[in-house]
Amino acid sequence: MNVKGSWRRLLANAMSAMLGAIEIYNKPRFVYRDEVFVVLLINAWELLLKAVVSKGSGRIYYPKKRGEAYRTLTCRDAFWRAANSQLWPKKISSAAIDANIELISIYRDQAIHFYNNKSFGAVIYSLSQTSIINFRDVAMAVFGRDIGDEMSWRIMPLSMSSVVDPVKFMGGKGAASDQTRAVQDFLMLMQEKTDELDASGIDTGRLCTVFDISLNSVKKISKADIVAGITTEDRADAFIVQRRVDPNVTHPFRKKDLMPKLAGKLTPYEFDAVVYVRQLKEDPKYCWKDSGTSLVKWSPEAARYLKGLTSEQIASARAEYTGRLKKSKK
């Protein structure tokens, strides 16, 4: 028996399972949609992780016990072996993907063992979108296979009922009937995972990202913040509309909230120096400023950027900042 398995067959099945999951989710009428979708989604991940282990010449089976059948690795064990192998792409955070898969697995276990609460839909929608992107990136990095090549992305995103805003829902602003104990416990666990990743300086975008898709008439998007188009002579063939989002979500930190995260790295004075010299307040990726007040707020990306500065860079910014302050006082 080949205890390493065939990574090519595992990869093919992983792609098929993910395509099946996406197809199920996009069916216009499917009562058990979320539950079946996540079963296939986790199955796709388990097969992909085993393919990574197999390609790295690792075992995908546990040692056989007398009188028992061979057992393949669980999704969690397969993830641990894949993430610690030489094949795992260094640019992709395994910790964030692990947390994403764990949260979706918890939902799957609750759904298949007894019943599920429909209120989970808003959260699972965001977690799963991120999970599919993670799956695509890992498959591309390790095997050079893009799941996008296997399907048509021309899906019509229509809904006849109001869509629940995942950000508002996770912030506790859903309907009273949505705030069950199971949902609250799940959201608390999700927040814990987010805090752990953020404290370690890991990009939480691999855990959960909220995607906003809107249908707009091309002639009625002049008020959008960003419009990117690919045009022919007389019409737009493709366009993207990006709307501003709540700065309380994207830029949650005041300076007083940010400094504890930089303890041992920057003093308040050095923080001001780096911000001034590197013009971080002018970059919306790091800073949001209220045009009507003096309120300034910072993003998690700003914390990661500042943590990544070398001692030499900080010292250089401090010296330049001090020099400019002395000149301004003359």
The pLDDT tens digits of the residues spanning 190-231 come to 778 887 887 777 877 788 776 554 444 444 444 444 333 434
Q: Residue 8's pLDDT is what?
A: 93
44 has pLDDT over 50: yes
- The answer to whether residues 198 and 276 belong to one domain is no
Fill in the amino acid letter for 138: V
Q: What does the CA dihedral 120, 125, 131, 135 come to, rounded to 10 degrees?
A: 130
Percent of the chain with pLDDT strictly greater than 70: 73
Interatomic CA distance for residues 194 and 203, integer angstroms: 9
What is the number of domains present in the chain?
A: 3
Asked whether 241 and 216 are in contact (CB, 8 A), the reply is yes
- The answer to whether residues 239 and 251 belong to one domain is no
Mean pLDDT across 227-245: 41
Q: Given pLDDT bands bounded at 50, 70 and 90, which one contains residue 30?
A: confident
- The answer to whether residues 230 and 278 belong to one domain is no
- The answer to whether residues 132 and 20 belong to one domain is yes
Asked whether 253 and 298 are in contact (CB, 8 A), the reply is yes
pLDDT tens digits along 124-135: 777 888 899 999
Q: Residue 238's pLDDT is what?
A: 39
- The answer to whether residues 325 and 230 belong to one domain is no
- The answer to whether residues 55 and 27 belong to one domain is yes
Fill in the amino acid letter for 40: L
Fill in the amino acid letter for 179: Q
**pLDDT, greater one: 150 or 62:** 62
What rounded mean pLDDT belongs to the chain?
A: 78
- The answer to whether residues 236 and 108 belong to one domain is no
**What's the domain range around 219?**
212-243
The single residue listed with the structure tokens 């399972």 is 17
Q: Is 221 part of a structural domain of the chain? A: yes
Range scoring the smallest mean pLDDT among 19-28, 67-76, 90-99, 285-294: 285-294
The single residue listed with the structure tokens 């950000």 is 167
Q: Is 192 part of a structural domain of the chain? A: yes
pLDDT tens digits along 51-67: 999 999 899 888 888 88
Structural tokens at position 217: 């008439």
Within a 10 A sphere around the Cβ of 255, how many other Cβ atoms?
13
152 has pLDDT over 70: no
Q: Residue 222's pLDDT is what?
A: 41
- The answer to whether residues 173 and 37 belong to one domain is yes
Mean pLDDT across 232-243: 40
Asked whether 75 and 49 are in contact (CB, 8 A), the reply is yes
Highest mean pLDDT among 105-114, 150-159, 207-216: 105-114
Q: Residue 219's pLDDT is what?
A: 44
- The answer to whether residues 174 and 235 belong to one domain is no
318 has pLDDT over 90: yes
Q: Given pLDDT bands bounded at 50, 70 and 90, which one contains residue 14?
A: very high
Mean pLDDT across 160-164: 47
Q: Is 157 part of a structural domain of the chain? A: no
- The answer to whether residues 195 and 322 belong to one domain is no
Q: Which residues of 115-138 are buried (b: 16+ CB within 10 A; e: fewer)?
A: ebbebbbbbbbbbbbbbbbbbebb
Q: Is 1 part of a structural domain of the chain? A: no
- The answer to whether residues 260 and 311 belong to one domain is yes
- The answer to whether residues 34 and 47 belong to one domain is yes
Q: Residue 67's pLDDT is what?
A: 85
